[in-house]
Structure 1
Amino acid sequence: MRELKTTEAVGKTLCQDITQIIKGEKKGPVFRKGHVIREEDVPVLLSVGKDHIYIWEEGEDTLHENDAAAMLYEMGRSENMHPS
């Protein structure tokens, strides 16, 4: 994970959901974790106050949190444990 200027993030993958809040009207994600940022996404990100965002950088020594959770589940799995 690395912080990057939003204007330089085209083609990168978001590490977290980005939420938009319009008081009394709307509250919800405009982009979900894992979304690959496109040129047309930049103005939207800037409009919700995201001048900098965290992007996912994959390397040999990195493990995505969902993959880590799946590994932990497999290690501790029993008849009383079920994935959610």
Structure 2
Amino acid sequence: AGWGGPGRAPTVPLVPSRGATVTRSGAILPKPVKTPFGLLRVFSVVIPFLYVGTQISKNFAALLEEHDIFVPEDDDDDD
């Protein structure tokens, strides 16, 4: 754990990590606990927030275009 600065208590890391694989005597440490459904949890968070982000972006782009703040040019490369 790191220090929060002068006169502060040590901070606790947000993500627990284990840097050592053996003890001082040379014994191998047991396997860390595996989180079940880890990938499912990741996707259940990423997909909804990705969808909400795209909806916000679409609405904001429409607002910019409606107020003529940013209007994309129609490039016709049929020369």
Using the size of structure 2 for normalisation, the TM-score is: 0.26
Q: Please state which structure has a larger fraction of its residues in helix.
A: 2
Which one scores higher on RCO, CA 8 angstroms, separation ≥ 6?
Answer: 1
Using the size of structure 1 for normalisation, the TM-score is: 0.26
User: Over alpha carbons, which structure has the higher Rg?
Assistant: 2
Q: Please state which structure has a larger fraction of its residues in strand.
A: 1
